[in-house]
Structure 1
Amino acid sequence: MITYLLKSGILLFVFYAVYKLWLENEKMLRFNRAYLLLSLVFSLVIPLQLVSFQSIISNETGIVQLNELVIRKGTENLSSISVNDFIIGLILSIYVFMVSLFGIRFFVNLYSFYKKTRRSEVLVINDEKIVLLQETVLPHSFLNTIFINKEEFEKGKIPSELIAHEKAHLQQKHSFDILFIEILQIVFWFNPLLVFYKKAIKLNHEFLADEAVNVQFQSVENYQNLLLDFALNKNTVALASNINYLITKKRLLMMTKKESPIKVVLKICTVSIVGTLLLLVFSSRTIAQTEKSSPKLKEGFAVSYDTTSVKSPEFPGGMVEFYKFIGKNFKMPAAASKNKIQGKVLMEFMVEKDGSLSDIKILKDLGNGLGDEATRVLKLSPKWNPATQEGKPVRVTYALPITIQNDK
């Protein structure tokens, strides 16, 4: 999971950096909208390695370094496992709490639109659903509805450009983009990059709506002056598209920009190349990449392929149960206790295609029967759920370091 989050975080950062440096200031509004949304999707999907560009032999064996196991004289319940369980439980509890908190806020915001619609007068004008609100608020839209102040609407104080702006949001389905990024923020609330993506997506929406208004009314200067009149109004609504969202110099300049077809094609090609390279890098299983980051157990002894691309073997009940199984069954040899032997025993074993353990080896022994005892316990292990690669079972080798502690 940590590897997945790191990879997705790197992809989100790279895609966003490309957007800020290469695309944001260009009048490629529809392409930019697609780019931002696809960047989010690709960043979450590519690390799953659903597609791989390097085939490996199904019988190839990987060597996986397990976490260290501590055996103490007369102690069957391993404190290290208990601490790990507590930390994992704490992290999971915090995550669930935050997801629940943001999820509740999200549904409260959704319900507010439903409540406004139920309590207010609803009109249908030119096939557009308009809700007249009593509170003072700027025109805003959500899904298929435009919300405006009733008094200003009845007095004709709402310019046609503002209605056209919100209508553009509805026609281009901008609310679905906002809902998508909001849901991602609930699930990945700990990732600050999503805040920047949300801001970029909403600003792009305003570019698109501004463009639609100027195409309809053919008066950029008048529309710019109209926006400036609303620039100091901070009354916005969560989840909604708002006319005064980030009325900045950048937004005003975008209205007067002209597209260069050659420049557009160049930028699209460049972005496509970057996306393809990222896909290849993060979807490939390369020996060099894995060996560089894998732990060295002894000379020439390292992970031989990217084990994250393989569905790992599973001990019945999970790895915590495996550690508990070893701790429960390991009997400290009398000689080791008498001589107060302390240190590390390094074991290696293979999980076969049928889940049984084979090739149990002692790579490092402290003597006094400790290596033999570890071998005996591993031979008692029940069958694991075997590893699979592309639906086919594979053999995987594990390295298990066991630290022996004796009372002094």
Structure 2
Amino acid sequence: MILYLLKSGILLLVFYAVYKLWLENEKMFHFNRAYLLASLVFSFVIPLQIFSFQSALSNKIGLVELSELVIQKNNKNLETISLNDFLLILIIVVYSLGVLLLTTRFIFGLYSFYKTIKTNEVQFIKGEKIVLIDEPILPHSFWKSIFIHKNAFEDGKIPSELIAHEKAHLKQKHTLDILFIEVLQIVFWFNPLLVFYKKAIKLNHEFLADDAVNKQFGSVKSYQNLLLDFASNKNTIALASNINYLITKKRLLMMTKKESPIKIVLKVFTVGVFYTLLLFVFSTKAIAQKTANKADVKEKDLYVLEDVEKLPEFPGGMNEFYKFIGKNFKTPLEVGKNKIEGKTYMQFIIEKDGSLSNIITLKDAGYGIGDEAIRVLKLSPKWIAATQQGKAVRVMYSLPILVQPEK
């Protein structure tokens, strides 16, 4: 999971950097919209490695080197494992609280729109659903409705350009983009990059709506002056498309920016090549292997397979595996009597059916420690097998066991 989040985070950062440096200042709003949405999808899908360019599975057996297991008579190591369990539970609780709070806010936001529509006057003007609000608000839109201040609308104080602006949001279905990024923020609320994506998407929505208004009315300067009248109004709604969202110098300049077809084609082609390259890099199951770095097992000429899709899982997790070893391991009498301390290196293979095989001692501290470790490992229940490209594969494990006398 950590590797997945790291990869998706890197992709989000790279895609966003490309947008800010290469695309944002170009008058190619529809492409930019597609780019931002596709970047979000690819960033969370590519690391799953659903698609792979690897033609065949490696014949090598992947080696996973486990953390050292310390066995003492006073079971101090089990206390450490319990602390790890507590931290894991704490992380899960904090994450769940974040999801719960954001989900509640999201549902409340949707309900507020539903309640507003149900409790206010609704008119259909030229096929558009207009909700007339008693409170003084700026025009905004959500889903299939435009929300307007009732008195201002009836007094004819709502310029046609503002209505056209909100119609553009509805016609281009910008609400779907906002809902999509909102859901992603609920699930991945701990990733701050999504805040920047949301801001970029909503600003691009305004570029698109502004462009639609200017094409319809053909008076850029008049429309810019109209926007400046609303620039100081901070009354915005999170899920809605707001006319006054980020009325900045950039937004005004984009209205007068000239398009360069050649430049646009070049940038689109470059982005296509860039996407293909990242897709290939992150979807290729690397078979890069390296010799195990522990001096004690160097002579075994073992290898580490760095990209097993899904590692084997002991029932209940690795902490339970350590507890299983600690609970069943009986320290030989000679070790306790002579207060001997020694490290033993064990090696075993998790087969495709989850069973343990080839249990051997790479380095034995003596006094029967290696034999006892083999006995305990043979008692292990079946694991959930590792997978690569959706198929079960064998994975080799290396386990250092440090036996210490009671202190």
Please confirm whether the aligned pair reaches a TM-score higher than 0.5, indicating the same fold: yes
Give deviations 1:90-128, integer Å, cap 9, x for gaps: 000000001101111111111111111111111110110
TM-aligned CA deviation for residue 346 of structure 1: 1.8
> Mapping of 1:176-325 within 5 angstroms?
176-288=176-288, 291=290, 296=294, 298-299=297-298, 300-307=301-308, 309=309, 311-325=310-324
Q: 2:40: which partner in 1?
A: 40
Supply the distance in 2 between the matched residues of 1:380 and 1:59 (Cα, whole angstroms). Answer: 28
CA contact (8 A) 2:74 2:406 kept: no
Change (3 A) 1:391 1:178: closer
Q: Distance in 2 between matches of 1:316 and 1:21?
A: 48
Structure 1 residues without counterparts, runs of 5 or longer? none
| Letter of the 1:312 counterpart | L
Once the 2 structures are TM-superposed, how far is the Cα of residue 343 of structure 1 from its aligned partner?
Answer: 4.2
Compute the displacement of 1:380 (Å): 1.5
Deviation at 1:59, TM superposition (A): 4.6
Question: Is the counterpart of residue 333 in structure 1 residue 332 in structure 2?
Answer: yes
Paired residue secondary structure (1:359): strand
Structure 1 343/129 Cα, relative in aligned 2: closer, same or farther at 3 Å? farther
Equivalent position of 2:401 in the other structure: 402
Tell me the alpha carbon deviations over residues 330-369 of structure 1, each in whole angstroms, 9 at most, x when there is no partner.
0011111122223432211011223221111212322222
Is 1:96–2:96 an aligned residue pair? Answer: yes
> What is the one-letter code of the residue matched to 1:344?
K
The 2-side partners of 1:99 and 1:276 are apart by 33
The offset of 1:383, in angstroms, is 2.5
Q: How does 1:340-351 map to 2 (within 5 A)?
A: 340-351=339-350
Work out whether residues 58 and 392 of structure 1, in 8 Å CA contact, stay in contact via their aligned partners in 2: no
Kept in 2, the 8 Å contact 1:22–1:267? The answer is yes
C-alpha separation in 2, matches of 1:131 and 1:392: 55
1:234-289 CA distances to partner (integer Å, 9 max, x unpaired)? 1111110000000011101111112111101110111111111111111112233x
Question: Matched residues in 2 for 1:101 and 1:366: separation?
Answer: 53
2:363 is equivalent to residue 364 of structure 1: yes
Q: Pick closer, same or farther for the CA change 1:296–1:53 going to 2, 3 Å.
A: farther
Tell me how far 1:399 sits from its aligned partner: 1.1
Residue of structure 2 in register with 1:130 after alignment: 130
Q: Is the Cα contact below 8 Å between 2:58 and 2:287 reproduced in 1?
A: no
Structure 1 position 12, deviation (Å): 0.1
Q: Which residue of 2 aligns with 1:380?
A: 379
- Give, in angstroms, the shift of residue 78 of structure 1: 1.1
TM-score by length of 2: 0.95
Which residue identity is paired with 2:117? Answer: T
Query: In structure 2, what is the equivalent of residue 21 of structure 1?
Result: 21
Structure 1's 316 and 247: CA in aligned 2 closer, same or farther, altered over 3 A?
Answer: same
Q: Relative to 1, partners in 2 of residues 1:255 and 1:52: Cα closer, same or farther, differing over 3 Å? A: same
CA distance in 2, matches of 1:403, 1:369: 13
Q: Is the 8 A contact 1:58 1:394 kept in 2?
A: no
SS of match in other structure, 2:256: coil
Maintained 8 Å contact 1:47/1:282: yes
**CA offset at residue 67 of structure 1?**
2.9
Q: CA deviation at 1:375?
A: 1.0
3-state SS of the aligned residue for 1:169?
A: helix
Distance 2:278 2:148 in 1: 45
1:199 is paired with a residue of what secondary structure?
A: helix
Report the CA distance between 1:401 and its aligned residue.
2.0
Number of the residue aligned with 1:150: 150
How many residue pairs end up in the alignment? 404
Q: Which residue identity is paired with 2:159?
A: P
Contact 2:345 2:400 in 1 (8 A): yes
The residue number in structure 2 matching 1:62 is 62
The 1:185/1:296 distance shift into structure 2, 3 A limit, reads farther
Q: Pick closer, same or farther for the CA change 1:330–1:216 going to 2, 3 Å.
A: same
Identity over aligned pairs, percent: 69
Match of 1:393 in 2: 392
Contact map agreement 1:139 1:162 (CA 8 A) in 2: yes
Distance 1:296 1:165 in 2: 66
Whether the 8 Å contact between 1:76 and 1:328 is mirrored in structure 2 is no
- Between stretches 276-285 and 311-320, larger displacement belongs to 311-320
Question: Does the aligned pair in 1 maintain the 2:57–2:388 contact within 8 Å?
Answer: no
* Kept after mapping to 2: 8 A contact 1:314/1:384: yes
Deviation at 1:48, TM superposition (A): 0.5
For the residue of structure 2 that corresponds to 1:287, the secondary structure is: coil
**Amino acid in the other structure paired with 1:303:** V
Greater alpha carbon shift after TM alignment, 348-357 vs 40-49: 348-357
Q: 1:302 and 1:79 mapped to 2: Cα distance? A: 33
Instruction: Give unpaired runs (5+ residues) of structure 2.
Output: none
- The answer for the alignment partner of 1:11 in structure 2 is 11
CA contact (8 A) 1:140 1:241 kept: yes
The SS at the match of 2:181 is: helix
> Is the Cα–Cα contact under 8 Å of residues 58 and 389 in structure 1 kept in the other structure?
no
Distance 1:103 1:291, change over 3 A: farther
RMSD: 1.8
Q: 1:277/1:17 Cα in 2 relative to 1: closer, same or farther (>3 Å)?
A: same
Structure 2 CA distance, aligned partners of 1:189 and 1:392?
32
The answer on whether the counterparts of 1:137 and 1:148 sit within 8 Å (CA) in structure 2 is yes
Q: Go from structure 1 to structure 2 and tell me whether the alpha carbon gap of 1:125 and 1:195 turns closer, same or farther (over 3 Å shift).
A: same
CA shift in 2, pair 1:203/1:343, >3 Å: farther
Quote the offset at 1:58 in angstroms.
5.9
Over residues 281-330 of structure 1, what are the superposed CA-to-partner deviations in whole Å (9 max), with x where a residue is unaligned? 11112233x649x86564343413412x2x33232333232222211110
Residue type at the aligned position of 1:96: S
Using the alignment, how far apart are the partners of 1:162 and 1:263 within structure 2? 31
Q: Alpha-carbon deviation of 1:10? A: 0.3
Q: Which amino acid aligns with 1:116?
A: T
